[in-house]
Structure 1
Amino acid sequence: MKQALICISILLLLSTCIERIDLSESLSEDSLLVVDGVITDANEPYTIKLSYTSPSLQTYEGKALSGAQVYITDEEGNRADLIEVDEGEYETLPEQFRGEAGKTYRLHILTPEGREYASLTETMPLASPIDSVYFELDSRPYETSIGTILDEWGLQYYLDTGSGMAKPAYYRWSWQETYEFTAPLTRPMQLNVPVCYQNGYAIRYLNIASTRELSKDQIRRRKINFVEINGRKLQRRYSLLVKQYALTERAYNFWENVQEQQENAGSVFAPPPSPIPGNVYNVNDDRELVLGFFQASSLTEKRVFIRRSEVPPSPDGSPGGFSECIEGEEYDTPDHCYDCSILTGVSTETPSFW
C-alpha cells in the first residue's frame, strides 16, 4: 500500500506544463527528485516525502530518498529540523514547529550524496472559514461488470466558502470520512455484537478552485464527496471532515497544471508528455529539473454528521450494505456477517470526536 501511495503521489506530480521543457537537457543517468510536502498552521506533524523517478520517466519506481537532512526556515532565521520517520518520509515535531499565516517559509534538503536543494520562499496565506457543508440526494451513472449503465443513488456533499472580499483567493480541498456500522447477522447465543468504525480518505483526489475571475471571493455549491446509499457507510452514523487549504497563486497554478494533465491524459497510468517543474531547485545546478511542490497553506476544517434516520429515501432503498450476508444451509456466509470487527481497517474504539 505504501508503494502504491508513493506511485500515486508521483503520478499527481508529473504532468503537462504550459511552457514545454526540453527533457534532453534535464534527463541524465540520474533519476529526478520528487518533493511532496505541505506545512499548515494546524498543531500537528507536517510531512515531507522525498523520492526519485526512473531515469527515463517511462516508469514510476517511487524509490524513496532516505538519509537526507531536511529542515525548514522562516524569514526570521528560525530553523526546524525534520526527523525521518519512515523511508523517505520526514516529519516535524509539533512542539518545536508550527506554521503561522503571514509568515514566509523555505524548505532545505541535503542528500547523502551532498546535493543541496531548496524551495522558493512561500508565504502562508490566511484561510477563510468554511461557511457550510451540506448534502443533497442525487444519482450518478456507473457501468456494471457487463457494460450496462445504471444510476447509483447517494448523498452528494457540497460546501460554501469565501471571505466575500473583492480580492482573489485560491483553494484546495481534501476530506476524511468516518462511519459507524454493525454486522447484519447474529449467531445463536451470540452476546457480543461489536460496533465498528472505519475511515475513508480522498485518494487520487485533486479538488482546487480560485476566485480570480469572480467579482468577490465567494464559492458556492462546490462538490466534495459522494456517498452511495446502498453501502454500509450510512447504516448507523456517518461523519465527513472537510479540510480547506489556502493556496498561494504559484501553488494554485502548479496544481491547475497537474489537474489539466489528469483530465487530458488517456490513462492516469500513462507517462506524461512532460513534467511540471515545481518550486524546488538544485542550489548548485539550476539546470537540474526537480519535481513536486513545497506548499505552505493555512488550514480550516469543518466536520458534519448524519444519522441513518436523516438519510432521505431513494430508489436504491435503505442504507445497510452487506449484500453478501445471506443465511441458510445452502449459503457459505462469511464470518464478518456476524462480527464486523474482523474486517480489514476496522476499529471497535469509538473516535474521540464521536
Structure 2
Amino acid sequence: MFKRLIYLFLVLPMACIDPYQVQVPEGEQLLTVEGMIHSGPGPHAITLTRSATYGSIFEGLVRPETGATVVVRDNEGVVTFLAESAEARGSYFTPSGFRAQVGKSYTLQIQTSDGKVYTSFPEQVESVPEISAVSLQTLTIPVEGQEIPRSGIQLIAEIDDPADQDNFYFWKNGPAVYILETRPDLFTIRPSDANPNRTPAPKPCCVVCFRNEISNNQSLFVSNDDNFNGLTTRIPVSFIEDDGLRFVNRYRIDLKQYSISADAYRFLRLVKQQAEISGSIFDPPPATIRGNLISLDNPDEVVLGYFIAAGETSRRVYISKDDLTFKQNKAIIPDDCREISGASVDPPSDWGN
C-alpha cells in the first residue's frame, strides 16, 4: 500500500493541465472633458483625456488627448480658439484676455486628431453675488488607529442671495501662497558607495520662503438657494488640510465662487454623492454620470465630464497660525527652503493685499 502511494505521488506532478484562455474584449477608451470658462480673468483651461473602461488591458490608465482643435463659440457666433499647453499635454487654454460674459451662452466644440467631432450643449453664464465675508473654523477628523486626528481649516462664506433668480453655486480653491519654514541646518548628504553613512552638511540658507500651491478641495462644495432664496446665509465652501507646513506661519488663498447652471449643479451634485459613497454593501454601485457633451459622429458614444460656463467672483483670505484651535505637529524639512517646489525667498508682489 505504501509503495502504491509513493507511485501515485510521483505520477501526479507529471499530469498536464491545459490553461483556459479567457478572451476579454478591450474596453472602449472614453473621452473625458474637464474644465470651465467663466467671467473672471484667464486663461481658462479645458483638459481632455482618454480613460479605458472595464475589460481593457489599459484599465485605469488615463492618457492626454493631444493634438485636438478646441474652440468655444458664443450665442452670437464669436469663436475663441484654445491653445494646447506645451508643458501640460492635453490641456487647452483660452487667450489670456478672454472672459465669458454674463448673459451669453457658450458651446464647447472639439475635433480630435483622428477627425472625431464632439460638442457640448449651450451653457449660459449667470451673474454671481459677491462673497460678503469669510469666517474660519478648525475641523478635526478622527482617523481609525491613529492617536492624532486629521485637521484643517474650513472656510465659511457669507453671501446675500438675490431674490429675483434661482441660484446654483460652486466653490473652488484658487491659488494659494504661504510662508514655508525649513531647517537647512539639519541637511545631510545622502549615503553613497564611497560614503555609506549620512554626513551632516548644514546649509547657511535659507530658512524662510514663500511657497505657491493650488490647494484642491478633497470634496465638491455645491449648493442651491432653495432654502435661502433672497436671504443672507453662511455656508461651508472649502476645507484646507493642515499638513504641518501650511499653517506654521501665514497662509493666503483666493476663494472662488461660481454661479452655474441648474444642469451643471445637478451633474456636480451627482459626482459629489458618488464620491462620498461610504462603501457598505447597501450602497448603490458606481454609475457613469453623463454630462453635457455628445459625439456628432456617434450619438451612442459615451462622453464623460461636463463643460461649465459660469459667473465668477473671488475673495482673498489670510489665515494666521493663531486662527487655528488645533494644529498638526510641525513638519521638518531638513533642507534649504528654495529647494522645495514652488518656493522662493521673494514674497509675491501683492502679498499684503
TM-score by length of 1: 0.76
**One-letter identity of the residue aligned with 1:101:** V
Residue 48, structure 1, aligned to residue 50, structure 2? no
In the alignment, structure 2 segments of 5+ residues that lack a partner are 1-24, 187-200
**One-letter identity of the residue aligned with 1:105:** Y
> Greater CA deviation, 203-212 or 191-200?
191-200
Residue 105, structure 1, aligned to residue 118, structure 2? no
Structural RMSD (CA): 3.1
Match in the other structure for 2:196? none
**One-letter identity of the residue aligned with 2:171:** W
Match in the other structure for 1:181? 180
In the alignment, structure 1 segments of 5+ residues that lack a partner are 1-26, 325-333
Match in the other structure for 1:238? 251
For residues 1-354 of structure 1, what are the structure 2 equivalents within 5 Å? 30-56=28-54, 59-85=59-85, 86-95=88-97, 97-136=98-137, 138-143=138-143, 147-151=145-149, 155-165=153-163, 167-176=165-174, 177-183=176-182, 192-198=205-211, 199-216=213-230, 218-226=232-240, 228=242, 231-264=244-277, 266=279, 273-308=286-321, 310-311=322-323, 314=325, 321-322=330-331, 324=332, 335-336=334-335, 339-354=336-351
Instruction: Give the direction of change, closer, same or farther, for the CA distance of 1:207–1:114 in structure 2 (3 Å limit).
Output: same
Instruction: Give the direction of change, closer, same or farther, for the CA distance of 1:149–1:55 in structure 2 (3 Å limit).
Output: same
> Greater CA deviation, 28-37 or 202-211?
28-37
Deviation at 1:186, TM superposition (A): 5.0
Native 8 Å contact 2:184 2:337 kept in 1 = no
Instruction: Give the direction of change, closer, same or farther, for the CA distance of 1:289–1:217 in structure 2 (3 Å limit).
Output: farther
Hey, what's the Cα distance between the residues in 2 that align with 1:215 and 1:299? 19
Instruction: Give the direction of change, closer, same or farther, for the CA distance of 1:56–1:160 in structure 2 (3 Å limit).
Output: same
Deviation at 1:56, TM superposition (A): 2.9
Native 8 Å contact 1:278 1:293 kept in 2 = yes
Which structure has the higher relative contact order (CA within 8 Å, separation 6+)?
A: 1
Deviation at 1:315, TM superposition (A): 6.2
Deviation at 1:226, TM superposition (A): 4.2
SS class of match (1:301) = strand
SS class of match (2:142) = strand
Native 8 Å contact 1:234 1:320 kept in 2 = no
Deviation at 1:170, TM superposition (A): 0.8
SS class of match (2:274) = helix
**One-letter identity of the residue aligned with 1:351:** P
Deviation at 1:157, TM superposition (A): 2.5
**One-letter identity of the residue aligned with 1:342:** E
Larger radius of gyration: 2
Native 8 Å contact 1:167 1:217 kept in 2 = no
Native 8 Å contact 1:41 1:298 kept in 2 = yes
Instruction: Give the direction of change, closer, same or farther, for the CA distance of 1:107–1:133 in structure 2 (3 Å limit).
Output: same
Once the two structures are superposed, residues 160-212 of structure 1 have per-residue CA deviations (whole angstroms, 9 ceiling, x without a partner) of 12434253211111114321133357589976444212224115431111112
SS class of match (1:82) = strand
SS class of match (2:52) = coil
**One-letter identity of the residue aligned with 2:117:** E
**One-letter identity of the residue aligned with 2:131:** I
Once the two structures are superposed, residues 245-288 of structure 1 have per-residue CA deviations (whole angstroms, 9 ceiling, x without a partner) of 11100100000111111122529xxx963211111111232222
Deviation at 1:121, TM superposition (A): 0.6
Native 8 Å contact 2:104 2:125 kept in 1 = yes
**One-letter identity of the residue aligned with 2:95:** L
Deviation at 1:92, TM superposition (A): 1.3
> Greater CA deviation, 52-61 or 174-183?
52-61
Instruction: Give the direction of change, closer, same or farther, for the CA distance of 1:275–1:349 in structure 2 (3 Å limit).
Output: same
Native 8 Å contact 1:125 1:247 kept in 2 = yes
Q: Report percent identity of matched pairs.
A: 26
